[in-house]
Amino acid sequence: MTALHLWLRHESRTTERRTPIVPSDARRLIESGVVLTVEDSPQRVFSTDAYEAVGCRIAEPGSWVTAPPDAVVVGLKELPDEPAALTHRHIFFGHAYKGQPGAETLLRRFRAGGGALLDLEYLVDDDGRRLVAFGYWAGYLGAALALLHHHGRLTAPLRPTSKEELDEQLRAAAGEVRALVIGALGRSGRGARVALGVAGVDPTCWDLAETRELDRPALLAHELMVNTVLTTRPAPPFLTDKDLDDPDRRLRTLCDVTADVGSPLNLLPVYDTPTDWEHPARRLREEPVLDLIAIDNLPSLLPLEASTDFSAALTPLLLDFEVGGAWGRCRERFDAAVRQPVAGEGESSDG
């Protein structure tokens, strides 16, 4: 049997410093017989030398286009616009199955070249649960940014940082805040709770059971709210414009980690554009004040921690490549999309 050849590509998005395979896991893969080529990348949070030191082959950024046909190209975010025909198997977050902007173009490129997308969002276990995700760090950062902003301590534009630095800022911002995390039992929810805990804040935690009969006055009595819900079925919104106009509202800072703008399942239909690293917070109301943070690439702000955790979850799956049922399901999802693209479900932010 020929060895699996993985090709870790350089991310074309200049702010993306994360990687799905960190050097220590690259070593593990190589020791297990995988051939691993790593493209040099100026912005990746790990140096190319660190990969070379553990036995990776090094290649030029973007050279995956001429990789051997059996190489499996691994990345996180979008591919560059060229080439028009994709001939390889690609592992990354394609955002291509819910009618998102650019989805049909990407599927057309795969159709043209005969390649395949193995979408990380659809790498799921037998029960349909995601196997690799950045949720924990998304929640951690969302809550951290919300807390810092709430105390007037958030400086823009945002830059990638380290957990030590972020935690230091959180400790310096410690103080009484009535905070609420919704979706508290999920990955992002857990991250949000831990980040608030670093600042000494013990939030109210709601998940499915607590929102079944939504207690709006209780929600609005919190000063800071972090939404980390991942929902697959319609539910009444957590906040409406009427709630924002309520003069008794104590809520001042809202962080929507879900950032599900435009989706029919959006539970916070009170804004229509996400915020970003340049302008992380946007004022939704002046009287009483309500500021929104809704950034769709939060984990990129902690590239080291996010990469390390993600790689730890992905590596065992890569060691089972083509054996594990998860990859088969991933491939079936792609084949179905290529046969009949699904449109109009709205985009989810992840990774």
Ligand X SMILES: NC(=O)c1ccc[n+]([C@@H]2O[C@H](COP(=O)([O-])OP(=O)(O)OC[C@H]3O[C@@H](n4cnc5c(N)ncnc54)[C@H](O)[C@@H]3O)[C@@H](O)[C@H]2O)c1
Q: Which is nearer to ligand X, 51 or 122 (CB)?
A: 122
SS3 38: strand
Per-residue binding letters, 121-150, with ligand X (x by CB under 6 A): ------------xxx--x------------
Q: Angle formed by the axes of helices 325-339 and 103-113, to 10°?
A: 100
95 labelled catalytic: yes
CA–CA dist 296, 64 (Å, integer): 27
Please report whether residue 313 would count as binding ligand X according to CB under 6 A: no
Catalytic pick from 10, 90, 95, 151?
A: 95
Cross-strand bridge partners of residue 119: 92
Choose, by CB under 6 A, the member of 37, 100, 169, 348 that binds ligand X: 348
CA–CA dist 95, 341 (Å, integer): 12
Nearest to 192 by CA among 240, 140, 145, 146: 140
CB-CB contact of 166 with 196 (8 Å) = no
Q: Which is nearer to ligand X, 110 or 206 (CB)?
A: 206
Choose, by CB under 6 A, the member of 143, 299, 305, 326 that binds ligand X: 299
Please report whether residue 305 would count as binding ligand X according to CB under 6 A: no
Residue 283 buriedness (CB in 10 A; 0-12 / 13-18 / 19+): exposed
Choose, by CB under 6 A, the member of 26, 177, 259, 302 that binds ligand X: 259
Choose, by CB under 6 A, the member of 4, 6, 195, 229 that binds ligand X: 229
Please report whether residue 230 would count as binding ligand X according to CB under 6 A: yes
Q: Angle formed by the axes of helices 135-150 and 187-198, to 10°?
A: 40
Number of residues lying near ligand X (CB under 6 A): 32
Q: How far is the CB of 208 from ligand X (least distance, A)?
A: 5
CB-CB contact of 100 with 121 (8 Å) = no
88 labelled catalytic: no
Name the residue with the smallest CB distance to ligand X: 186
Catalytic residues: 77, 95
User: By the criterion CB under 6 A, which residues form the site for ligand X?
Assistant: 133-135, 138, 182-183, 185-189, 206-208, 211, 228-231, 235, 257-260, 295-299, 348-350
